[in-house]
Amino acid sequence: MNSKKPDRRGFLKGSAALAGLAVGSIPFVNGKAFAGVASDEPSSKRGVTPDEPNIEDLAYGGRSRFETSDRSALMGSGGATGLRNLTPLQDSIGIITPPSLHFVVSRDLHMPNIDPRDHTLMIHGLVDRPLVFTMEELKRFPSVSRIHFLECTGNSSVYQYKSMLKDLKKANSPELTKSTYVIQQVHGRASTSEWTGIPLSLLLKEAGVQKGASWMIAEGNDVGKHSKSIPVEKALDDVLVAFGQNGEALRREQGYPLRLLVPGWQGVNNVKFLRSIKLVDKPYYVRPEISQYTNLRPDGKSSWYGYQIGSKSLITYPSDAHHLPEPGYYQISGLAWCGRGAIRRVEVSTDNGRTWKDANLQQPIFRKAFTRFSFDWNWDGSEAVIMSRCTNEFGDIQPTMMEIAQLWGDSAEPRIPAAEIVKFWETADVLEFFNNPIQPWRIERDGSVKDALYSTFNIKI
- From 265, 284, 303, give the residue that closes a domain: 284
Bridge partners of residue 86, in order along the sequence: 72
Residues 263 and 193 in one domain: yes
- pLDDT interval class at 46 (50, 70, 90): very low
Per-residue pLDDT tens for 295-323?
666 666 666 666 788 999 999 999 999 99
Determine the Cα–Cα distance for residues 235 and 214; give it in Å rounded to an integer. 10
Residues 275 and 126 in one domain: yes
Mean pLDDT of 177-182: 94
Residues 330 and 438 in one domain: yes
Residue 79 lies in a domain: no
Per-residue pLDDT tens for 259-291?
999 999 999 899 999 999 999 999 887 767 766
- From 238, 264, 284, give the residue that closes a domain: 284
Give the 3-state secondary structure percentages of the chain, helix then strand then coil, rounded to 5. 20, 30, 50
> What is each CA distance from 173 to 124, 183, 437, in whole angstroms?
52, 19, 29
Determine the Cα–Cα distance for residues 98 and 71; give it in Å rounded to an integer. 11
Query: Which range is most confident: 84-88, 174-178, 203-207, 419-423?
Result: 203-207
Determine the Cα–Cα distance for residues 399 and 390; give it in Å rounded to an integer. 9
The pLDDT of residue 308 is: 81
Residues 273 and 351 in one domain: no
- From 268, 284, 300, give the residue that closes a domain: 284
Mean pLDDT of 337-356: 97
Determine the Cα–Cα distance for residues 276 and 429; give it in Å rounded to an integer. 33
Q: How many CA atoms lie within 13 A of 117 on its CB side?
A: 0
Determine the Cα–Cα distance for residues 195 and 93; give it in Å rounded to an integer. 18
Best CA proximity match to 350, nearest among 337, 322, 331, 368: 331
Residue 181 lies in a domain: no
Residue 302 lies in a domain: no
Per-residue pLDDT tens for 215-226?
999 999 988 788
Look at the alpha carbons of 337, 340, 346, 348 in this order and tell me if their dihedral is positive or negative: negative
Residue 78 lies in a domain: no
Residue 432 lies in a domain: yes
Beta strands in 338-413 (DSSP E): 343-349, 357-358, 360-361, 371-379, 384-392
The pLDDT of residue 358 is: 98
Per-residue pLDDT tens for 101-111?
999 988 777 88
CATH number at residue 197: 3.90.420.10
The pLDDT of residue 30 is: 37
Query: Which range is most confident: 55-64, 249-258, 431-440?
Result: 249-258
Residues 360 and 276 in one domain: no
Best CA proximity match to 347, nearest among 407, 398, 401: 398
Residues 265 and 320 in one domain: no
Per-residue pLDDT tens for 95-139?
999 999 999 988 777 889 999 999 999 999 999 999 999 999 999
Burial of 166 per CB tally in 10 Å (0-12, 13-18, 19+)? middle
Residues 332 and 383 in one domain: yes
SS3 assignment, position 178: helix
Determine the Cα–Cα distance for residues 314 and 411; give it in Å rounded to an integer. 26
Q: Within the chain, how many helices (H) and strands (E) appear? A: 11, 26
89 contacts 183 by C-beta, under 8 angstroms: yes
* 286: CB partners within 8 A, 6+ apart: 217, 227, 228, 229
Residues 279 and 319 in one domain: no
* 266: CB partners within 8 A, 6+ apart: 151, 152, 153, 293, 306, 307, 308, 309, 433, 434
Count how many domains the chain has. 2
CATH number at residue 353: 2.60.40.650
Determine the Cα–Cα distance for residues 60 and 401; give it in Å rounded to an integer. 44
Residue 178 lies in a domain: no
112 contacts 220 by C-beta, under 8 angstroms: no
Mean pLDDT lowest among 7-21, 89-103, 166-180, 307-321: 7-21
Residues 265 and 410 in one domain: no
Mean pLDDT of 177-189: 95
The pLDDT of residue 60 is: 81
Residue 296 lies in a domain: no
Q: Is 80 exceeded by the pLDDT of residue 461?
A: yes
Residues 149 and 240 in one domain: yes
Burial 117-144 (b: 16+ CB within 10 A, else e): eebbbbbebbbeeebebebeebeeeebe
Look at the alpha carbons of 111, 120, 149, 92 in this order and tell me if their dihedral is positive or negative: positive
230 contacts 115 by C-beta, under 8 angstroms: no
Domain that holds residue 234: 102-154+189-284
Q: Is 50 exceeded by the pLDDT of residue 29?
A: no
* 274: CB partners within 8 A, 6+ apart: 121, 218, 219, 220, 221, 241, 255, 258, 259, 260
Residue 341 lies in a domain: yes
232 contacts 279 by C-beta, under 8 angstroms: yes
- Angle of helix 418-427 relative to helix 401-410, nearest 10 degrees? 110
Residues 419 and 364 in one domain: yes
Residues 247 and 329 in one domain: no
* 24: CB partners within 8 A, 6+ apart: none
